[in-house]
Amino acid sequence: MKCGGTSEAKAATAETQQLAQQVKAQVEEKEGKNFDVFTAVEFKTQVVAGTNYFIKVHVGNDEFLHVRVFQSLPHENKPLTLTGYQSKKAKHDELAYF
């Protein structure tokens, strides 16, 4: 992984799903709707002063969101932050930095 760049896309793990779940309410609030399905399918990471997670999330039917979550360094003891998201994505859309 090059410094500052994002990792290769990897299949989502239980940890990735947990991260997505923690920001679900914030995404729902911004989108103005509730998602019955909110399943992380893949993710990329970017190591900064903490870690940015770019997570592709299935939200039902053929609709996907890309969410960006920032996890600060453990000693900073800060909550997980939703730093951005992109809606109206398809399953085949590449997860890219945003």
Residues 36-60 pLDDT 10s: 999 999 999 998 889 999 999 999 9
All domains of the chain in start order, with CATH: 10-89 (3.10.450.10)
The pLDDT of 75-98, averaged and rounded, is 91
Q: What is the pTM of this model?
A: 0.84
Band (74; pLDDT cuts 50, 70, 90): confident
Q: For residue 2, is pLDDT > 50?
A: no
Counted residue by residue, the chain has a size of 98
